[in-house]
Amino acid sequence: MRIRSVSLGIVRRDENILVQVINFLGISTTFYRPIGGTIEFGENSKQTLIREFREELNQEIEEPRLISVIENIFGTADDMGHEIDFIYEVNMREKSLYELEEIEGVEGSNNYKAQWKPISYFKTDDVKLVPDGLLDLLLEENNQYTSTIKHVRTN
């Protein structure tokens, strides 16, 4: 097992957030994750977020604001993952993208759809917002973020 550091951007449109749709073959649950990715060696989490929005959506973002860090340990003893997720509030510079229902994204050689989903949508059973702990963070009363580190362990 190794620790992976990730930087993710919460982009809001009213009560909706922009998320990447992730489906795994043989799994009925649809996963959703904010736009972002793995921090590369020599890069800080803010630089990662700026790079990921450029690479995946071909978009520039305004100055990101760190809202939380989630330490996420998941899986079983035989197949465990460990992630440190830097969660930023982000605004895209191209305002016309906020009018679209879907935005085409590219991750490596794979295309994906980014969609606007209401936060309440992730309370349903057949979908999952990742990383674990992010939904609770977004549902916090009045969205009054403080500099917190959330430790989440799921089995």
Which pLDDT score is estimated for 134? 95
Cα 139–Cα 72–Cα 21 angle in degrees, nearest 5: 65
Q: Which residues contact 141 (CB under 8 A, 6 or more apart)?
A: none
Average pLDDT over residues 139-155: 61
Characterize the bridge pairing of strands 65-75 and 148-153.
Answer: parallel
Q: Given this model, what pLDDT does residue 141 score? A: 53
Q: Which CATH superfamily is domain 3-153 in?
A: Nucleoside Triphosphate Pyrophosphohydrolase (3.90.79.10)
pLDDT (mean) for 136-155: 66
Judge residue 89's burial from the number of C-beta atoms within 10 Å of its C-beta, 0-12 exposed, 13-18 middle, 19 or more buried. Answer: middle
Does residue 148 surpass a pLDDT of 70?
no
Residue 152 clears pLDDT 80, i.e. is over it: no
Whether pTM exceeds 0.85: yes
